[in-house]
């Protein structure tokens, strides 16, 4: 039983040593390159990682420490490949969506600008027509309406003014109505 306990401890030590040597994707790639499982500058793909695993299993490495480090380095690189692939796919998807949104916004803005340009041309034409005298009657009517609305008395002005004829007529009517009301009261 001591042999098993010793081998388990030895495995734990091997794992700890591999964790100390290979901490992340850069150190994993470095280990694989230094041990000639991957060529320097070679792109890491799932195919190259499969090749590293096959080389590890071929008996090239006799030390358990090297086998554990090789498997750890390969696993970390595979995880990095998968993460990078997912990130690239997500970025492509986001890029496509943003491009679609920008395209729609651009089309909407172009449509609005076209509408504004058309309205400006129409207004410019109307102003030219009015200046040429073709519709001077319309301009005169607009001016007359503006003058009338500016000189028109409000209700407050009309009731407060004693100089205007309509107001005196209203007072006369009011006096007459008051006299009729008093007469009705007296009869009762």
Coil/strand/helix, residue 83: helix
Give CA angle at 155 (149, 161), nearest 5°: 100
50-54, 123-127, 155-159, range with greatest mean pLDDT:
50-54
Average pLDDT for residues 167-175, to the nearest whole number?
A: 68
Give CA angle at 82 (81, 88), nearest 5°: 90
Average pLDDT for residues 91-105, to the nearest whole number?
A: 88
**pTM (whole model) above 0.85:** no
Domain boundaries, the chain: 2-94, 153-188
Within 13 Å and on the Cβ side, how many CA atoms surround 7? 5
Q: CA 105 to CA 82: how far, in whole Å? A: 35
pLDDT at 86 over 80: yes
């Amino acid at each position: 039983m001591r042999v098993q306990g010793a081998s388990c401890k030895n495995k734990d030590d091997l794992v700890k040593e591999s964790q100390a040597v290979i901490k992340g994707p850069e150190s994993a790639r470095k280990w694989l390159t230094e041990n000639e499982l991957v060529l320097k500058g070679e792109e890491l793909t799932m195919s190259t990682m499969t090749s590293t695993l096959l080389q590890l299993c071929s008996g090239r490495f006799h030390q358990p420490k090297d086998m554990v480090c090789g498997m750890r380095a390969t696993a970390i690189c595979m995880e990095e490949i998968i993460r990078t692939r997912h990130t690239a796919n997500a970025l492509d998807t986001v890029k496509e969506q943003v491009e679609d949104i920008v395209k729609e916004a651009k089309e909407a803005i172009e449509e609005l600008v076209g509408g504004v340009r058309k309205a400006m041309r129409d207004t410019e034409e109307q102003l030219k027509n009015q200046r040429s005298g073709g519709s001077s009657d319309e301009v005169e009517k607009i001016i007359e309406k503006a003058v009338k609305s500016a000189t028109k008395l409000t209700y407050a002005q009309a009731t407060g003014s004693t100089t205007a004829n309509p107001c005196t007529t209203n007072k006369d009517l009011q006096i007459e109505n008051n006299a009729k009301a008093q007469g009705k009261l007296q009869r009762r």
